[in-house]
Amino acid sequence: HNPFLLHDMDKAVERILRAITENQKIVIFSDYDCDGIPGAVVLHDFFVAVGFNNFYNHIPHRHYDGFGLSSNAVIKLKNEQNPELIITIDCGTTDIEAVAIAKEKGIDVIITDHHEPKETLPDAVAVVNPKVGDTYPFKGICGATVIFKLVQALIAKGGFAISAGQEKWWLDMVGIATIAD
* Local structure of residue 4 (DSSP, 8 states): G
Total residue count of the chain as it appears in this document = 181
* Contact partners, residue 56, CB within 8 Å, separation at least 6: 25, 26, 27, 28, 81, 83
The mean pLDDT value for 152-181 works out to 92
The DSSP result for 138-152, as a single string, is -TT--HHHHHHHHHH
Give the pLDDT confidence score for residue 164 in this predicted structure: 79
pLDDT band, very low/low/confident/very high, at 64 (cuts 50, 70, 90): confident
162 pLDDT more than 90 = no
**Contact assessment for residue 31 and residue 91, using Cβ atoms and an 8 Å cutoff:** yes
* Of residues 164 and 71, more confidently modeled: 71
CA distance 36 to 20: 22
Give the pLDDT confidence score for residue 126 in this predicted structure: 98
CA distance 49 to 9: 21
pLDDT tens-digit series, residues 99-147: 999 999 999 999 999 999 999 999 999 999 999 999 999 999 999 999 9
Q: Taken in order 11, 12, 15, 21, is the CA torsion positive or negative?
A: negative
Closest CA to 79 of 106, 61, 52: 106
Give the pLDDT confidence score for residue 12 in this predicted structure: 98
Give the pLDDT confidence score for residue 165 in this predicted structure: 85
14 pLDDT more than 90 = yes
